[in-house]
Amino acid sequence: MSEIEVCHQATVKMSDPEPGLKRQVLAYNANLMLVRHLMEKGWQGVLHSHSHDQLVYVIRGRLRFTGGASSFEAAAGDSFVVPGNIGHQAAALEESEVLDVFNPYREEYAPVHGLE
């Protein structure tokens, strides 16, 4: 039987993977990872892809998102799924906060100690 581990946001450090973007890796296991992103207005991520399915929920702000053949704006309360291996890119039209869920977890995002 597995134990439930609580992740308290206030105790998790924020990283700065690139200018204009802050990342906070919250709860995760080998199947799922919850990540909070804070984006400054004007931030634009690079076009990239990864094998992970990604569920995106916009908490506040407004983004321009391009993925595959789709291009759209998403605002607070909007959500969408990015299938694995689809090239995609986001840009913050306003200061924004987003929650991303990845399946499986992103090894490169995991804290140094990794999964136990």
> What pLDDT score was predicted for residue 112?
55
115 lies in some domain: no
Nearest to 104 by CA among 37, 43, 45, 54: 54
Amino acid, res. 58: V
> What pLDDT score was predicted for residue 5?
87
Q: 0.85 exceeded by the pTM?
A: yes
5 lies in some domain: no
CB atoms within 10 A of CB 80: 15
Query: What count of Cα atoms within 13 Å lies in the side-chain half-sphere of residue 55?
Result: 8
Q: Can you give the pLDDT of all 116 residues of the chain as single tens digits?
A: 468 989 999 999 999 999 999 999 999 999 999 999 999 999 999 999 999 999 999 999 999 999 999 999 999 999 999 999 999 999 999 999 999 999 999 999 987 544 54
CATH number at residue 51: 2.60.120.10
> What pLDDT score was predicted for residue 35?
97
CB atoms within 10 A of CB 69: 6
The separation between CA 35 and the C-alpha centre of its own chain, rounded to angstroms, equals: 5
Contact 14, 26 (CB under 8 A): no
Domain count, the chain: 1
37 lies in some domain: yes
Dist CA 104 CA 27 (whole Å): 13
114 lies in some domain: no
Distant-in-sequence, close-in-space partners of 10: CB < 8 Å, separation ≥ 6? none
